[in-house]
A and B are shown apart, each in its own frame.
Chain A
């Protein structure tokens, strides 16, 4: 199967799944509408919400940091992780954005992606093809070839179940040894300092609980006013990704704790001793003050716009995702915000499907046209 055939299958599947979800859980669009309002509210005063979030993380016994750019973020996390550690990653686009895994490997750590798709991308030494399904461009044969590098029992003819089992076996060994678990965050609640994560595989739950240090690295755009808003972001993201209800929802509020003796909350208990939240700016704060771009920060990374885009259907990750983890229409906006790179916008053919399917109702074509225009202004 070539890329366009794969894309066609995935797109049809996603459309049907989302339609099914919205029919069976009719409250989702109203939640999405409310979430848009709440996220806009945060963008109106992002510095205050950052401060509130960091203060509440510290209150719970966690550590909070604000990194201005990728370099600063790598330094902060490098200092926490140190060297010769085993590090397990859950799928985090922000970690990709700042080149974190490679950085930790270069500084002498054994770092592994634990999301199956992301693990295949790591074995491939490539870039994710989709924000929710990173290995969407790989066939069973491709996956088998990659996994045969770590398990000699896997051949080109191996069944999907056997490939998954081989990866599971490999990762179990890493989980047991892991000193540090690094996750992203689908949402961060300013009022509690809690992070919310959604997943289906169970790897995030292990990454965030078994290692004694948990680092969550995410963008300041993920901050929402309250914990219920954070849960709403999880519901909306998973519904529009076509995977609802999600298998696991994880809320982490500081390091592990117990109140079992005299109802006094003490840390650590059984889980991580340390919790670190590293919030990344990397262009987001500027974008929040840019009236023509700021809508892009509402993106909850459901990846639906990719599937509605003719350019993505035609060329897949070759469009943007060879230099940024963000692809498709949202990737045009996010690559501009985080890399100050307007040129992928030139390939937008303003088909308009992106904004039709966006749960946050982001006027993506208008934002992209603005980016196109800014790029063109730099041409002599």
Chain B
């Protein structure tokens, strides 16, 4: 493998992501108005001690992938903040993607409300979880940013967090162990009830939910209770046999990331043509090769 390229790229990625996070709570420039549109439309309250923490994951899903394409350029130019801000002008979420993420987040919020959970949102103050640092192995930087994140939540009086994606959930779980992050957090999938859904799918498990956070059965139960039919094949959807969408390796090697995504879709399509995911990054990676829906698009 081209490890030399990785050794050149990683410092630039660190400089860019960590630098931006410590300054702005975001890995790269994000249009905060667009990111919080869903909350405006759903009239989500501010200043509550229970919040929904999107970590911008649905809103930025496609941007993560687009930024990966520019990593070699950032590396050449040194990964400065200026370059990142140029990048933000080049890299935008397109209208249909923005509408999709707005729909999904409004629906997640509505499912929480329906389940008797009232929560607010931090709007323009909403931070990113830092998961990219953790997943790329910048553990020291992740912990440092985690302390900043904890401080932010405490300064806003946050006592209870509902997460919407596996990467954020995993980050907060790790921060609990690493720095004593002591704010309760719950994945929304473990909090909702009384939902209705439809369709027949093969589920592509999130690696983090199923193999790191112990939610392999929980996700299936949520889908089943909503009336969604999941098709299983022990060689494809088993806890130990299913595998990654390729997303996490994107910033290191886009080619392998794409190859893994394509292999995974090929495998999933032996079970069903329609794939269900529970993670915005899985959606981004797999939808290039197949027909993919997020679970929050098929139940309410």
Which A residues form the contact surface with B (CB < 8 A)? Answer: 4, 8, 11-12, 15, 308-311, 313-315, 318-319, 343-353, 355-357, 365, 369-370, 372-373, 375-377, 379-380
B70 in contact (CB, < 8 A): no
A314 near B1: Cβ-Cβ < 8 Å? no
- Residue-wise, chain B 128-139 has the 8 Å CB interface mask toward A (1 for contact) of 000000111111
If A346-B10, A349-B244, A353-B241 touch, does A315 touch B211 (CB 8 Å cutoff)?
no
Cβ contact of B137, chosen from A310, A357, A376, cutoff 8 A: A376
List residues of B (242-291) whose CB comes within 8 Å of A's CBs. Answer: 242-244, 246-249, 252-253, 256-257, 259-260, 263-264, 267
Contacts A12-B235, A351-B244, A380-B11 supplied; 11 other A-B pairs, CB < 8 Å: A310-B244, A310-B263, A314-B256, A346-B10, A347-B249, A349-B257, A352-B207, A352-B211, A355-B211, A357-B240, A379-B11
B3 in contact (CB, < 8 A): yes
B221 in contact (CB, < 8 A): no
If A372-B137, A379-B14 touch, does A347 touch B253 (CB 8 Å cutoff)?
yes
- Complex CA gap A94/B238 in Å reads 34
User: Contact size class for B?
Assistant: 35 or more
**For A380, what are the chain B residues with a Cβ–Cβ distance below 8 Å?**
11
Cβ contact of B138, chosen from A310, A311, A349, A373, cutoff 8 A: A373
Q: Min CB distance, A293 to chain B, in Å?
A: 14
**For B264, what are the chain A residues with a Cβ–Cβ distance below 8 Å?**
310
**For B235, what are the chain A residues with a Cβ–Cβ distance below 8 Å?**
11-12, 15
A376 near B10: Cβ-Cβ < 8 Å? yes
If A350-B135, A352-B211 touch, does A318 touch B241 (CB 8 Å cutoff)?
no
**For A353, what are the chain B residues with a Cβ–Cβ distance below 8 Å?**
211, 240-243
- Complex CA gap A372/B257 in Å reads 18
A356 near B244: Cβ-Cβ < 8 Å? no
**For A310, what are the chain B residues with a Cβ–Cβ distance below 8 Å?**
243-244, 246, 260, 263-264
Q: Min CB distance, A370 to chain B, in Å?
A: 8
- Complex CA gap A351/B238 in Å reads 13
A347 near B256: Cβ-Cβ < 8 Å? yes
A344 near B3: Cβ-Cβ < 8 Å? yes
B239 in contact (CB, < 8 A): yes
What 10 pairs between A and B have smallest CB-CB spacing?
Answer: A372-B137, A352-B211, A356-B240, A351-B244, A343-B3, A373-B139, A349-B249, A310-B243, A349-B248, A314-B259
A to B CB contacts below 8 Å, 21 in the list: A308-B240, A310-B246, A311-B249, A313-B263, A314-B256, A314-B260, A315-B256, A349-B260, A350-B208, A351-B211, A352-B208, A352-B210, A352-B212, A356-B239, A356-B240, A365-B212, A369-B134, A370-B139, A372-B136, A376-B137, A376-B138
If A350-B248, A353-B211, A356-B240 touch, does A311 touch B137 (CB 8 Å cutoff)?
no
Q: Min CB distance, A356 to chain B, in Å?
A: 4
A379 near B139: Cβ-Cβ < 8 Å? no
B7 in contact (CB, < 8 A): yes
**For A11, what are the chain B residues with a Cβ–Cβ distance below 8 Å?**
235, 241
- Complex CA gap A15/B235 in Å reads 8
**For A311, what are the chain B residues with a Cβ–Cβ distance below 8 Å?**
249, 256, 260
**For B137, what are the chain A residues with a Cβ–Cβ distance below 8 Å?**
345-346, 369, 372-373, 375-376
B179 in contact (CB, < 8 A): no
- Residue-wise, chain B 1-41 has the 8 Å CB interface mask toward A (1 for contact) of 10100110011001000000000000000000000000000
**For B136, what are the chain A residues with a Cβ–Cβ distance below 8 Å?**
346, 372, 376
- Complex CA gap A347/B260 in Å reads 12
A308 near B243: Cβ-Cβ < 8 Å? yes
Q: Min CB distance, A12 to chain B, in Å?
A: 5
B140 in contact (CB, < 8 A): yes
- Residue-wise, chain B 56-73 has the 8 Å CB interface mask toward A (1 for contact) of 000000000000000000
List residues of B (53-105) whose CB comes within 8 Å of A's CBs. Answer: none
- Complex CA gap A194/B140 in Å reads 45
Cβ contact of A318, chosen from B1, B207, B238, B243, cutoff 8 A: B1
Cβ contact of B243, chosen from A351, A369, A375, cutoff 8 A: A351
Cβ contact of A343, chosen from B7, B14, B135, cutoff 8 A: B7
Instruction: Using CB atoms, name the residue of chain B closest to A320.
Output: B1
Q: Min CB distance, A3 to chain B, in Å?
A: 11
Interface centre among B6, B240, B253 (most CB of A within 10 A): B240
- Complex CA gap A228/B1 in Å reads 41
- Complex CA gap A356/B235 in Å reads 14
